[in-house]
Amino acid sequence: MKKTLLAAGLSTLMATTASGETIGVSMALFDDNFLTVLRNGMIEMAEGMDNVDIQVEDAQNDVAKQLDQINNFIASGVDAVIVNPVDTSATQAMTAAAEAAGVPLVYVNRQPINVDSLPDNQAFVASNEIESGTLETFEICKNLRAAGKGGGARAYVMMGELSNQAAVQRSKDIEDVLSMDMCNFIQVVDQQTANWSRDEAQDLMTNWLSSGEPFDALIANNDEMAIGAIQAMKAAGIDMASVEVGGVDATADALAAMAAGDLDVTVFQNAAGQGAGALDAALKLAAGEDVDQKVYIPFELVTPANLSEYTK
């Protein structure tokens, strides 16, 4: 109910803000389940408002292509730009281009490296990544303790794209939780990147399994990698009840995997809320209004115990 009311409130707010605006949106990659939800949420929100035209482009994970898209949006006279950055360490050039043209810019979902020095007409809307990996890893720690593994457990860690701030922060979250007295019984066997990809995660998990190393948990930076790892484990005949698996995002596929008993933990990242918040900020900035430069949509822990609240 809270999520429904939040969406309704944002919709009402934005309907009053819109006044014939054109917003250019550059997404890092269309072929990503979570980002698809975020993108579609913005499109649907814009379609429900009067006189708002949203133009969405796919950067196809290419930094140079994304910068070209931003420059093209600016040249075409858009009122504001929304960017889901390909590489969060390469956002300074995007900020500079928009600032020089006097066009408002809003980063969404992925934190730009220059987030603490954004110009007054730029903002960042996402969820606080310190919460994501922390919630995921601490729940896995509690589950392993409850399963009698408190004397010692072993875990594999799958990281997202290392150029991405979310992957860096979520991996640090894992490290921080496992250094706590309550959870330091968990030893990391190995950690490697699978670049947010289900296919790459399946291949990586298959390689790890071929080593024959015993393990009790798989902690992934996102759900797609967790699902790929699950597919590899099931193909190898592993009983999913014997291993803890966690991810982040609470995608539809992840919730289905949890309902099937394969995924133990995920963390809901409100893609629609982030998209709505980014569009709201862009419209306000285009209208010359002040906005908070950092807007965080809270993460929420999802387990089998509260799964039904999210499958709705």
Question: pLDDT tens digits, residue range 226-274?
Answer: 999 999 999 999 999 999 999 999 999 999 999 999 999 999 989 889 9
- 308: in domain: no
Q: Are both 135 and 257 inside the same structural domain?
A: yes
Q: Are both 122 and 16 inside the same structural domain?
A: yes
Residue 85's domain comprises 2-126+271-296
- 99: in domain: yes
Q: Are both 136 and 171 inside the same structural domain?
A: yes
Other Cβ atoms closer than 10 A to 1: 6
The two beta strands, 153-159 and 186-193, are: parallel
Q: Are both 285 and 250 inside the same structural domain?
A: no
- 135: in domain: yes
State residue 17's pLDDT score. 43
- 310: in domain: no
CATH number assigned to the domain comprising residue 107: 3.40.50.2300
Q: Are both 92 and 202 inside the same structural domain?
A: no
For the chain, residues with pLDDT lower than 50 are 1-19
Helix, strand and coil content of the chain, in percent to the nearest 5, comes to 50, 20, 30
State residue 272's pLDDT score. 87
Q: Are both 14 and 121 inside the same structural domain?
A: yes
What's the DSSP call for residue 211? T
How many folded domains does the chain comprise? 2
- 304: in domain: no
Rg for the chain, CA atoms, rounded: 20
- In order, the DSSP letters of 115-175 are GGG--TTEEEEE--HHHHHHHHHHHHHHHHHHTT-TT-EEEEEEE--TTSHHHHHHHHHHH
Region at 198 (left for phi over 0; alpha for psi -120 to 50; beta for the rest) = alpha
CA-CA-CA-CA dihedral for 204, 205, 208, 212, to nearest 10: -160
State residue 3's pLDDT score. 31
Q: Are both 236 and 200 inside the same structural domain?
A: yes
State residue 312's pLDDT score. 79
Cα→Cα distances 179→175, 262, 267, Å: 6, 27, 21
Q: Are both 51 and 137 inside the same structural domain?
A: no
What pLDDT digit, counting tens, does each position of 96-115 carry? 999 999 999 999 999 999 99
State residue 20's pLDDT score. 78
State residue 6's pLDDT score. 36
State residue 34's pLDDT score. 87
Q: Are both 141 and 120 inside the same structural domain?
A: no
